Amino acid sequence: QRARAELRRRFLLLLGLSRGRSARFCLRSQVLVSAEFGASDRECSRIQVDSLRTPLGIQGAALLRASDILEFSFPLE
């Protein structure tokens, strides 16, 4: 249980340090989108992003449901 708590702490630290960074998301619908990472709720069930770039255009801000995200990454710059 201690190891799980440490992994959770590191994950939450990573999310906190990721604010304002570019991120790529692969959604369940096989759509790839990119955005500026904003924040996550405590349960990590929703992720707030800014400047969401989709095939249909750009949204100023959006909430992505974690259940719709297959994976996300932060490109190295």
pLDDT in tens, 63-73: 999 999 999 99
Q: Which CATH number fits domain 1-73: 2.60.40.10, 3.40.50.1010, 2.30.30.100, 2.160.10.10?
A: 2.30.30.100
Instruction: Give residues with Cβ within 8 angstroms of 55, minimum separation 6.
Output: 31
Q: Which residue has the tokens 């999310």?
A: 15
CB 61 within 8 A of CB 50: yes
Instruction: Give residues with Cβ within 8 angstroms of 21, minimum separation 6.
Output: 36, 37, 74
Q: Which residue has the tokens 């709720």?
A: 41
Q: Domain coordinates of the chain in residue numbers?
A: 1-73
pLDDT in tens, 38-53: 998 878 899 999 999 9
